[in-house]
Structure 1
Amino acid sequence: MTEIHTSHLESFDGTRLAVHQCGAGRPVLLLHGLYSSARMNWIKFGHAERLAAAGFRAIMPDQRGHAGSAAPHDPAKWPDGVLVHDALALVEALGLDDYDLVGFSLGARTALGAVVEGLTPRRLVLAGMGLESLDNWDDRMVFFLDALDRFDEIGPGDPASFVVAFMKTMKIDRTAARLLLQSRFEIDRADLARVTMPTLVLCGEQDRDNGSPHALAEALPNARLQLVPGGHMDSVTKPELGAALVDFLT
């Protein structure tokens, strides 16, 4: 297996972020999903290794409040759009000027928001994402806040049982998780006109958790859609997702 190197960088407000890297060559920044981690989304199922073998340098931060990165309890450390600000800070700190950008679920929303705010990757991949999830942050987060409120009461059969089980597996800091949910993060659909680089909307065939990937691809100026096996939680475990990343970025 390709060796993973881990370092830590300070974001725009001094918050410490863990950054995992493997491979050498063209940089590709990969942003994981909500309550997940770089290891869970990109390393565990071989996607980073596949990218490294294809001549890429996979750069995989743990997002603020997740895994090896700091999970501050100070509300001031969670301004609106904080993950977008982190992405901008990472690109600057790493000195990236010619690179690709990939995100899954919340990471895709973050990547898209960062492009709207000025990042200019050569190519962009939005995985596990649909159009309706861009501007419904408040509505979408109600479900997750409820899961945190009832964290110790939820049992089998409850609609929130799966997400709570995943949070427990990932050892999520519940205070930081709540603060992230309470920091507003919406993208105006009119701003999609700024996303002019070649873009791949990559989604599981059964995944509509974040809305329609078809509508998202149609709304972007220079995008195409590719479907891979699985739903929202398991498409990222499939080798087809890693293969699609390599094919598009190559």
Structure 2
Amino acid sequence: MLDPVVSYFSGSDGVRLAYREVGRGRPLVLLHGIAGDATMWLRYGHAETFATRGYRVIMPDFRGHGRSAKPHDAVNYPLDVLTDDGLALLQHLGLGDDYARDYDLGGYSLGARIVVRMLVRGATPGRAVVAGQGLRQVLGIGGGAGSVLRRVFAGWGMFEPGSPEERAEQSLRSSGADPVALLHVLDSIAPTPVEPLGRVQVPTLVVVGADDERAATADELVEALPHGTRADVPGNHGTAAAAPELTTAILDFLARRQPQT
């Protein structure tokens, strides 16, 4: 696995946030899922493949995750703060309004929800990728990884040995997850209604695992986006994140770029 140097920038409120880069070329900003970090794009080989295809791959750690700060005060997690941080990263990289469409933006799971939030709040990448989410999740309708995490955190340290919850807890512990910070992150996530989705003019790929329950409303998300398109890859929500077909689907979509006018 590649091990790029960790760099830092200031979040929307000055919190210290981390990101990694590999490759050179057109910037491609990729956002990870809840309780993960930027290494998901490195661990499965996605970033390396994108880099070999001419992309400068930029992978931040959300606040409360990875090498980014994990403050415990709820004041550091206002509603939609991850979107604020994503927009701050674009400004830090020089990819703000003055350089509109000179980069691409993608995310998986929670990262995909933040991509949607960035789009409805004015981010204008050339293309966007929303992976591992359907309209139900974008609308903020219950279930999903957030509910599982809340249940695990509520019983932290008290589960029956060998139970699914205890195994989930051990996995989170081994990854360095911070329950206090992650609960604040969950509380900060903003839903996106259908109406603002209809104003997004960025070509957007909705890509989901064929066996992911989120695939049930993927078509509805595509229909809500004026320039949405769908692709399916093998696997469920967990295994699709590692599938090489995910990389292929994203690359094929990015390659269909229209000439700038």
Q: TM-score, normalised by structure 1?
A: 0.93
Q: What is the number of residues matched between the two proteins?
A: 248
Q: Secondary structure at the match of 1:187?
A: coil
| Kept after mapping to 1: 8 A contact 2:7/2:18 | yes
5+ residue gaps, structure 2? 256-261
1:135 CA displacement: 2.2
Q: 2:158 aligns with which of 150, 153, 159?
A: 153
| Kept after mapping to 2: 8 A contact 1:9/1:93 | yes
Q: Secondary structure at the match of 1:237?
A: coil
Q: Secondary structure at the match of 2:129?
A: strand
Greater mean alpha carbon deviation, residues 226-235 or residues 137-146:
137-146
The root-mean-square deviation of aligned C-alpha atoms, in Å, is 1.9
1:153 CA displacement: 2.5
Q: Which has the higher contact order (CA 8 A, sep 6+)?
A: 1
Aligned to 1:90: 89
CA 65–237 in structure 1, closer or farther in 2 if over 3 Å, else same? same
1:203 CA displacement: 0.7
Q: Secondary structure at the match of 1:186?
A: coil
CA 224–172 in structure 1, closer or farther in 2 if over 3 Å, else same? same
| Kept after mapping to 2: 8 A contact 1:31/1:61 | yes
Written as runs of structure 1 = structure 2, the 5 A alignment for 1:132-171 is 132-136=136-140, 141-155=146-160, 156-158=162-164, 160=165, 163-171=168-176
Aligned to 1:188: 193
Aligned to 1:103: 107
Q: Percent identity?
A: 38
| Kept after mapping to 2: 8 A contact 1:138/1:184 | no
1:238 aligns with 2:243: yes
Kindly provide the amino acid, as one letter, of the partner of residue 43 in structure 1: L
- Give, in whole Å, the separation in 2 of the partners of 1:138 and 1:237: 25
| Kept after mapping to 1: 8 A contact 2:209/2:215 | no
Question: For residues 206-239 of structure 1, what are the alpha-carbon distances to aligned partners after superposition, in whole Å with 9 as ceiling and x for unaligned?
Answer: 0124752122112211111100011001111111
| Kept after mapping to 2: 8 A contact 1:128/1:203 | yes
| Kept after mapping to 2: 8 A contact 1:31/1:38 | yes
Greater mean alpha carbon deviation, residues 61-70 or residues 128-137:
128-137
| Kept after mapping to 2: 8 A contact 1:198/1:223 | yes
1:170 CA displacement: 1.8
Q: Secondary structure at the match of 1:233?
A: helix
| Kept after mapping to 2: 8 A contact 1:133/1:210 | no
1:151 CA displacement: 2.1
Question: For residues 22-81 of structure 1, what are the alpha-carbon distances to aligned partners after superposition, in whole Å with 9 as ceiling and x for unaligned?
Answer: 000000100000001110x20011100000000000000011111111101111100000
1:73 aligns with 2:72: yes
| Kept after mapping to 2: 8 A contact 1:105/1:210 | no
Q: 2:127 aligns with which of 123, 130, 133?
A: 123
Q: 2:116 aligns with which of 112, 133, 146?
A: 112
| Kept after mapping to 1: 8 A contact 2:37/2:62 | yes
Aligned to 1:24: 24
Q: Secondary structure at the match of 1:68?
A: coil
Aligned to 1:57: 56
Kindly provide the amino acid, as one letter, of the partner of residue 66 in structure 2: A
Aligned to 1:10: 10
Question: For residues 150-201 of structure 1, what are the alpha-carbon distances to aligned partners after superposition, in whole Å with 9 as ceiling and x for unaligned?
Answer: 122334454x456434422321011101111222411111110122211111
CA 163–187 in structure 1, closer or farther in 2 if over 3 Å, else same? farther
Question: For residues 86-121 of structure 1, what are the alpha-carbon distances to aligned partners after superposition, in whole Å with 9 as ceiling and x for unaligned?
Answer: 001000111012100001010000010011011001
Kindly provide the amino acid, as one letter, of the partner of residue 92 in structure 1: Q
- Give, in whole Å, the separation in 2 of the partners of 1:117 and 1:166: 34
Aligned to 1:46: 45
Aligned to 1:219: 224
1:203 aligns with 2:208: yes
- Give, in whole Å, the separation in 1 of the partners of 2:127 and 2:167: 33
- Give, in whole Å, the separation in 1 of the partners of 2:147 and 2:112: 20
